[in-house]
Amino acid sequence: MDVQNEASKEHQSSSTQSVPKTDEKPTVNEIEIKSLSVNNTNPHSLLHEGFHWDSLDLDDPLMLQELYTFLNEHYVEDADSLFRFDYPPNLLKWALQPPGWLKDWHYGVRTAKNGGLIGFVSAIPVTLRIYNRIQKMVNISFLCVHKDHRSKKVAHMLIQELTRRVNEAGILHAIFTTGEVLLNPVGSNKYWHRPLNTEKLIEINFMQVSNKMTKQDMVKRYQLPCCSRTPGFRKLTADDVPQAHRLLTDYLSRFDLVPLFTREEFCHWFLPQSGIIDSFIVENDGNITDMVSFYTLPATIIQHPTHRTLKIAFSFYNVSTKTSWGDLMQDTLIYASNAGIDVFNASDAMENEKFLKTLKFGMGDGTLRYFLFNWVCAPVASNKIGLIVP
């Protein structure tokens, strides 16, 4: 989907001092020291009376449900307003509570009148390697503003306050992703889509019947075998973590913009959780040689008479050292299809291009752009990006 985020558009003007301009072409890789409010312990003043800050406790079921409802009604939707991402509460906890998370980095703006949430933003800690430099940062995500308040610079206020809170913890750098063209991205990836439930995707206008094909022809074109064929292909378990963690770490060393996962972080992000994250390995004679993973994100289908939910899988991190990319990812598609996934999305990051066309992925309209705050470096090629952000 070609996603649009009105909050990120509003934020464009507030980030021009910390991200390279569109006409700048950095060639170095260095920290850009800014005068940041590290010692400012006072929350930024809200620009409108009747609003106040509130940190959200995601371990409180009622507050978590409130955030889910808010994002469901006001977060990212496609350009044609046919679909809107629907982050369920358990997926929000997975995305927002990795090791090292802080409650104060999950917060919003409320109205004093009724206490309703009108804006939200979050940050989680990450350690990135950018070319040859390693830096602790935060990943900024879920910037969302209520549709009725997008003319009030709420996104600007959210980012300014987030900057203060993160600086107070001693972190001066950040990364965020968006589909919007804001400033000068450090890199970008295109989204590709692989139909699994072809008939449903046609019915909801996610895909169109080609002039040269019938609906039945398209269903047949995307049909998959019923079961996997790779020996040793199975789900990741806790016992596999030492080998799998090492396998992924070694693989990511080939790329220029990557996360550095600790063992604890690897367990959080990759150990399977039903309906959230699925990870598989290929093991033969006690050796793990390959790994694949995907997370599941449903989308609300807006105003359709029959279908209510589009079940989407997003390719996460994949490693192929022995099994061919085609066989490895086809087995992943088979599992996803049998699990009720409607469409499988993957970007052209890392080595994904080795299987996209072979397995009949089609290029979508969406482009994901990566932006760094307080950091200057040369652009990273799409196939050298090794960072996937849920």
314 vs 303: which has the higher pLDDT:
314
What's the pLDDT at 2?
A: 31
pLDDT over 90, % of the chain: 77
Same fold, 3-37+45-184 and 188-384: yes
How does the average pLDDT of the chain come out, rounded? 90
Residues comprising the chain, all counted: 390
Residue showing tokens 């999950």: 106
What's the pLDDT at 23?
A: 53
- What number is the average pLDDT over the span 314-340? 98
Exposure string of 88-116, with b = 16+ CB inside 10 Å and e = fewer, is eeebbbbbbbbebbeeebbbbbbeeeeee
What's the pLDDT at 24?
A: 57
Contacts (Cβ under 8 Å, ≥6 apart) of 143: 5, 7, 8, 11, 120, 121, 155, 158, 159, 176
Both tokens of 291, joined, read 């790994």
Q: What are phi and psi of 368, to 5 degrees?
A: -100, 125
Q: Which DSSP symbol is given to 79?
A: T
Q: Could you tell me the pTM of the whole model? A: 0.91
CATH 3.40.630.170 fits 188-384, yes or no: yes
Domain boundaries, the chain: 3-37+45-184, 188-384
Exposure string of 232-241, with b = 16+ CB inside 10 Å and e = fewer, is ebeebeeebb
Give CA–CA dist 93/113, Å, rounded: 29
Q: What is the pLDDT of residues 2-17, one digit of tens each?
A: 333 445 455 444 444 4
Task: Tell me the residue ranges of DSSP E strands in the chain.
Answer: 3-4, 30-31, 51-55, 77-78, 83-85, 106-111, 117-130, 133-145, 174-178, 187-195, 233-235, 257-259, 277-284, 287-301, 309-315, 319-320, 343-347, 362-373, 375-376
pLDDT over 70, % of the chain: 87
What's the pLDDT at 138?
A: 98
Both tokens of 141, joined, read 């995500």
What's the pLDDT at 212?
A: 86
What's the pLDDT at 3?
A: 32
Amino acid identity, residue 330? Q
Overall CATH class of domain 3-37+45-184:
alpha beta
Q: Are 75 and 186 in contact (CB under 8 A)?
A: no
Residue 20 clears pLDDT 70, i.e. is over it = no
Report, in angstroms and rounded to the nearest whole number, the Rg of the chain calculated over CA atoms: 21
What's the pLDDT at 4?
A: 37
Angle between helix axes 263-270 and 241-252 (nearest 10 degrees) is 100
- Give the angle subtended at the CA of 310 by the CAs of 81 and 62, to the nearest 5°: 90
- What number is the average pLDDT over the span 154-167? 93
What's the pLDDT at 183?
A: 77
Q: What is the pLDDT of residues 31-42, one digit of tens each?
A: 555 544 444 566
Both tokens of 69, joined, read 């409802």
- What number is the average pLDDT over the span 151-170? 92
Residue 211 clears pLDDT 70, i.e. is over it = yes
Give CA–CA dist 373/321, Å, rounded: 34
Q: What is the pLDDT of residues 112-140, one digit of tens each?
A: 889 999 999 999 999 999 999 999 999 99
